[in-house]
Amino acid sequence: MEVKAHTRHLRMSPRKVRLVVDAVRGMAVAPALAQLTFMSRAAARPVKKLLESAIANAEHNFKLDREGLYIKSALVNQGPTLKRWRPRAMGAAAPILKRTSHITLVLESKTGAKKKESAKKEEAHDHDHAGHDHGHEAKPKAAKKPAKKAAAKK
């Protein structure tokens, strides 16, 4: 099962982000998070955030266990470039290119990494609702009241 997460328009150069992504590509998620936590590059922080988001997607949306996940692929593509100008001598201007990145992270589960869904569902339904209605319990239907007729007053 593949799980994807994307970051778009990250205000860092793709060349610098690729250095960080190349270091964790193919790793299991636990060592990759440890690697990104202690890496001394600015791009490590948004890549770590993206990895945590992909793990959360896998756990919440696909009910996968984080221990069985690894980084299958990680791509860094160039986003739109912001163009600015720097004043130079004799009234000239030099361009400043502020590059952006799009990162795509794909996690895959190793065989046998699927969580037990039935146990999780039973556990989720056993908790006390404390008067809250979450919409998954059957409500008794109320009988329809007859419509009131407007009496013409004279």
- Dihedral (CA of 142, 146, 147, 152) sign: negative
Task: Evaluate whether 108 touches 68 at the Cβ level (below 8 Å).
Answer: no
- Dihedral (CA of 43, 46, 52, 55) sign: negative
Q: What is the pLDDT of residue 43?
A: 97
Task: Evaluate whether 77 touches 101 at the Cβ level (below 8 Å).
Answer: yes
0.85 exceeded by pTM:
no
Q: Which residue type occupies 31? A: P
> What residue spans define the domains of the chain?
2-116
Candidates 3.40.50.1780, 3.40.50.300, 1.10.10.10, 3.90.470.10; correct CATH number of 2-116?
Answer: 3.90.470.10
Could you read off the pLDDT of 105-145 as tens digits, one per residue?
999 998 755 664 544 554 555 555 555 555 555 555 666 66
Q: What is the pLDDT of residue 111?
A: 72
For the chain, the average pLDDT equals 85
Q: What is the pLDDT of residue 110?
A: 87
Provide the residue count of the chain.
154
